[in-house]
Structure 1
């Protein structure tokens, strides 16, 4: 019996290895493929799920309880991949997942602060865009550069960071921007970020910028880049610090809670993931 008890303890510890992340809670089972996260008020989080799921915005508290499920009207969940928030608490849903680089209907949905909306539905405005650099649908294998899973808001614009699916893989992630208002836009190419840490770690799955606009974070599977000391939106010319989070679950979303602290989440996969975590940039 003692052997069984000791084995159980070792097993539980090994299954609870969250690296540098601080475990908060297991997310509700109804949110299996969370892909975007943002916060508005303390101790609650808003989530969306990616392709194949409903056009719903979920509110969860830090106890893992599902508090609200808002149907987003005037919107389709083709492949929702990230959430962003502006200084008026409007939320933006990035519907630009594009694994095969085939899509011509890339969208971002803008909704008002959901904390101010009663009922079970919320109306969205639609921002559509395209990448002028993409000429073929799909491009050749070495030009599969137009998937995206990352979105953040900064000074009136929405910034999109692409996810590289090229063969051979070169680690490049493009930075684009579009106005944060209803319309159809040619996304403006700004810069390229190149991560040289291997394909899985280099693919950017989420991004966010601090409330004071001084720190940008990029997330991948187990890796975090912290970018500071940039001017205006010349983000990639700033100081870049890479942090190995020490966890290899499918981390899909990150958001700031203040200028120094983050919340992160991963997708549920068998017996791992589906959790909410915190991480301090000051640790």
Structure 2
């Protein structure tokens, strides 16, 4: 017994010392943990959108103007509207394009805007389009026309109607489309397209059971964050390694029900998002 006590008396201090020196996280690990922790953020209403914008369906931030560009949903004129953070209408850009069902906007790192004419409520459309233009020369438009590589019926059975897209984002020379599951309201499929004009089959590159219908998407300037929006909720993925696999990033869901029927989202910068709702609200979500 005395021998055992002596052995324990020797080993316990050794084990404590080992735990202290080996069990503590290194500075690099600790710093990584802090860096990946979201900062405290809040939702604030900036303004009501002006009356010509009755059904905002897409939004993008214009860094050179420090303003936002948006558009209306299907059945409205093919116009883009530039507004400031007070909701003042700065410019109306009239385009010679059909607005079959415009659903979202995105922007590349050269300042080109992409309009997603991808609304497909009944899953009947056989040719969809994304229009690429620069606001400085709105008459020069490239059409990226496509169908989905996995759609064989027009329309498919009601439970399989997952070929409506209201959410796109650009990153690294590619366009990424995220579906709105009208069949089961469950699975978001992700498709990839080139960002240049032509006719294509949108390539299915992944899917994720998000459990809600996605109405907008955005990628941060660094590409390390992707935000999706659904009615009354933000879905943010951080530490994204590849835009094609953004669902593998660190996920956070944020309740924003006070914003109403939220339809569109864009990054102002790496930590701040702008949001529009179909009932005419302009919101910002970011650090307090």
Q: Under a length normalisation based on structure 1, what TM-score does the superposition of the two structures give?
A: 0.83
Counterparts of 1:1-283 in structure 2 under 5 Å? 20-41=42-63, 42-73=65-96, 75-112=97-134, 114=135, 116-117=136-137, 122-166=139-183, 169=184, 171-196=186-211, 202-233=212-243, 234-247=245-258, 249-268=260-279, 274-280=280-286, 282=287
Distance 2:86 2:234 in 1: 25
Distance 1:230 1:206 in 2: 18
Structure 1 stretches (4+) deviating beyond 3 angstroms?
A: none
Give the SS at the match of 2:62: coil
Distance 2:257 2:148 in 1: 34
* CA deviation map 1:224-266 (0-9, x unaligned): 1111223223111222111112326110111100000011010
Give the structure with higher Rg (CA): 2
Give the SS at the match of 2:103: strand
Partners of 1:35 and 1:253 within 8 A in 2: yes
Q: Under a length normalisation based on structure 2, what TM-score does the superposition of the two structures give?
A: 0.82
Distance 1:86 1:136 in 2: 33
Q: Which has the higher helix share?
A: 2
Greater CA deviation, 241-250 or 180-189?
Answer: 241-250
* CA deviation map 1:113-137 (0-9, x unaligned): x1x34xxx53311000111111111
Partners of 2:168 and 2:176 within 8 A in 1: yes
Distance 2:139 2:273 in 1: 26
Distance 2:272 2:259 in 1: 21
| Unmatched segments (≥5 aa) in structure 2 | 1-41
| Unmatched segments (≥5 aa) in structure 1 | 1-19, 197-201, 269-273
Partners of 1:265 and 1:276 within 8 A in 2: yes
1:50 shift after superposition: 1.2
**Structural RMSD (CA):** 1.5
Shift of the 156–56 alpha-carbon distance from structure 1 to 2, 3 Å rule, reads same
Give the SS at the match of 1:68: strand
